[in-house]
Amino acid sequence: MDKIAIIGLGYVGLPLAVEFAKKNKVVGFDINTQRVEDLRKGKDHTLEVTSDSLSKVLVEHPMALTNGRVGFLPSSDIMDISTANIYIVTVPTPVDKNNRPILTPLIKASEVIGKVLKQGDIVIYESTVYPGCTEEDCVPVLEKVSGLTYNEDFFCGYSPERINPGDKEHTVAKIKKITSGSNEEIARKVDELYASIITAGTYKATSIKVAEAAKVIENSQRDINIAFVNELAKIFNKLDIDTHDVLEAAASKWNFLPFKPGLVGGHCIGVDPYYLAQKAQEVGYHPEIILSGRRMNDSMGSYIASEVVKLMVAKEIPVKGAKILLLGITFKENCPDIRNTKAIDLYNELRAYHTDIHIYDPWANAVEVNDEFGVELKDSLENEKYDTIILAVAHKEFLKLDLQNMRNKNSLIYDIKGVLSKAIIDKRL
Burial classification of residue 184, based on how many CB atoms lie within 10 Å of its CB (0-12 exposed, 13-18 middle, 19 or more buried): exposed
CB environment 261-286: b (16+ within 10 A), e (fewer): bbbbbbbbbbbbbbbbbebbeeeeee
- Environment class of 95 (CB within 10 Å of its CB; exposed 0-12, middle 13-18, buried 19+): middle
* Sign for the pseudo-dihedral over CA of 213, 215, 221, 227: negative
Q: How far are the Cα atoms of 73, 88, 426 from residue 81, in angstroms, in the given order?
A: 10, 11, 56
CA neighbours within 13 Å on the CB side: how many for 355?
Answer: 28
- Whole-number Å distance between alpha carbons of 401 and 256: 32
Answer whether 184's CB lies under 8 Å from 192's CB.
no
67-89: b (≥16 Cβ within 10 Å) or e: eeebbbbbbbeeebbeebebbbb
- Burial-class residue 8 by CB neighbours within 10 Å (0-12, 13-18, 19+): buried
- Catalytic site includes residue 156: no
**Per annotation, catalytic residue among 133, 156, 268, 335:** 268
Contact 126, 9 (CB under 8 A): no
CA separation for the pair 35, 43 (Å, rounded):
9
Phi first, then psi: give them for residue 237, nearest 5 degrees: -65, -40
The CA distance from 102 to 112, in Å, is: 18
Residues 369 and 348: beta-carbon distance below 8 Å: no
CB 138 within 8 A of CB 110: yes
110 CA to centre of own chain: 22
Q: Which one, of 153, 104, 162, 112, lies nearest residue 133 by Cα?
A: 104
Name the residues annotated as catalytic.
268
